[in-house]
């Protein structure tokens, strides 16, 4: 008999309130989630990804300096958002080109005799977990902005999300076939989450924006920490010792009530414009024969 998870979604996912009502009842796909507010939980998603030691040490020990989050935070952010854009909006040809470019970088990301854990950036199991984190982030942010998905909508949204992983080495058969199967996979995956002291310090630097200048920290630091805590499931908050009260939960929910209201008056090309620019840049680079990353 297959192993059943001991964790539940109440502990491994954030709570989505019901104050934002879904106005549409049509099909919803991952392409609908590329709102610029979808990236408000970016730091929380990185924390979730680094919950698996193989991912954490692959990032922290990476010898690819140009992709270092600590040394080049803006470039790392651009390449991450660009990957998501290509995975969701790109053609098969563009995904293949981006995969080849990322593979060139990933060849240098592997553990050595001094690494406390074994890892390899080509490990499909690690990539599947990262893709699952990305999916969770998109689904959470989309529901916070537009209201809870119906069961039919959630299934279509989930099925359209497999390219988050298959744009790299994750195969279609690795992506759980249904939304319910994903819940089971996710809860089992969360049982493997552990954060040691080195990873905790790395994540603390991320949450407190220590990799960027103090003016931005002064302006955005408190907001980022609040958003990060709000987007983290209880499991991850507990592991990091982040306090989250009922008052905090209500403030987080109220924030997205306001944001979702404002979003209704913004045209789609404004809300999704940044991703279109990133995709245009990939196409420009490919057309010039340059590395798309």
The model's pLDDT over 58-70, given as tens digits with 9 standing for 90+, comes to 999 988 765 566 6
Structural domain contains residue 284: no
Point out the least confidently predicted range of 73-77, 111-115, 165-169, 228-232: 73-77
Number of domains in the chain: 1
CA–CA dist 59, 69 (Å, integer): 8
Q: How far is 34 from 131, CA to CA, in rounded Å?
A: 16
Whether residue 13 is contained in a domain is answered as no
Which tokens is 273 given?
């414009």
* 2 assigned to some structural domain: no
The residue-averaged pLDDT of 198-224 equals 83
Indicate the burial class of 217 (C-beta count within 10 angstroms; 0-12, 13-18, 19 or more): middle
pLDDT at position 1: 41
Tell me, yes or no, whether 267 lies in a domain: yes
Q: Which residue has the higher pLDDT, 63 or 33?
A: 33
Of 23-32, 158-167, 207-216, the poorest mean pLDDT is in 207-216
pTM (predicted TM-score): 0.92
Would you place residue 17 in the very low, low, confident or very high pLDDT band (cuts 50, 70, 90)?
A: confident
Q: Say whether pLDDT at 16 is over 80.
A: yes
Tokens of 237: 């908050």
Neighbouring-strand partners of residue 120: 110
| Residue in 99, 57, 93, 84 with CA at minimum distance from that of residue 138 | 84
CB-based contact 174:128 (threshold 8 Å)? yes
Least confident of 127-136, 249-258, 263-272: 263-272
- Cβ(48)–Cβ(136) below 8 Å: yes
The C-alpha angle 51, 56, 62, rounded to 5 degrees, equals 165
**Is 176 part of any domain?**
yes
Label residue 239 exposed, middle or buried (CB < 10 Å: 0-12, 13-18, 19+): middle
Whether 287 maps to a domain, the answer reads: no
Q: Please check the confidence at residue 91 and state whether its pLDDT lies above 50.
A: yes
Q: Each residue of 133-167: pLDDT tens digit? A: 999 999 999 999 999 999 999 999 999 999 999 99
- Per-residue pLDDT, averaged over 276-292, amounts to 86
In DSSP terms, 110 is beta-bridged to: 120
Establish if 286 belongs to a structural domain: no
Q: Is 120 helix (H, G, I), strand (E, B) or coil?
A: strand
Q: Which domain holds residue 212?
A: 24-276
């Amino acid at each position: 008999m297959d192993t059943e998870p001991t964790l539940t979604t109440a502990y491994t996912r954030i709570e989505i309130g019901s104050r934002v009502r879904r106005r549409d009842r049509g099909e919803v796909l991952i392409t609908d989630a590329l709102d610029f507010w979808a990236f408000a939980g970016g730091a929380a998603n990185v924390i979730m990804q680094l919950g698996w030691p193989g991912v954490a040490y692959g990032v922290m020990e990476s010898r690819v300096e140009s992709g270092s989050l600590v040394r080049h935070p803006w470039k790392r952010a651009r390449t991450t958002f660009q990957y998501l854009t290509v995975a969701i909006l790109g053609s098969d040809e563009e995904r293949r080109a981006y995969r080849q470019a990322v593979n060139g970088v990933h060849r240098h990301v592997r553990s050595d005799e001094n690494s406390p854990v074994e890892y390899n950036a080509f490990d499909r199991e690690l990539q599947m977990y990262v893709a699952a984190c990305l999916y969770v982030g998109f689904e959470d942010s989309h529901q916070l902005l537009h209201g809870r998905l119906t069961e039919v909508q959630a299934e279509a949204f989930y099925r359209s999300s497999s390219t988050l992983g298959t744009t790299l080495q994750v195969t279609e058969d690795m992506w759980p076939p249904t939304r319910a199967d994903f819940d089971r996979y996710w809860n089992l995956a969360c049982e493997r989450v552990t954060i040691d002291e080195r990873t905790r310090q790395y994540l603390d630097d991320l949450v407190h924006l220590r990799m960027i200048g103090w003016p931005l920290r002064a302006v955005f630091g408190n907001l980022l920490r609040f958003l990060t805590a709000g987007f983290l499931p209880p499991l991850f908050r507990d592991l990091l010792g982040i306090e989250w009260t009922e008052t905090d939960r209500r403030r987080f929910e109220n924030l997205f009530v306001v944001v979702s209201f404002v979003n209704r008056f913004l045209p789609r090309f404004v809300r999704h414009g940044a991703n279109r620019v990133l995709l245009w840049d990939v196409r420009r680079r490919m057309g010039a024969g340059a590395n798309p990353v």
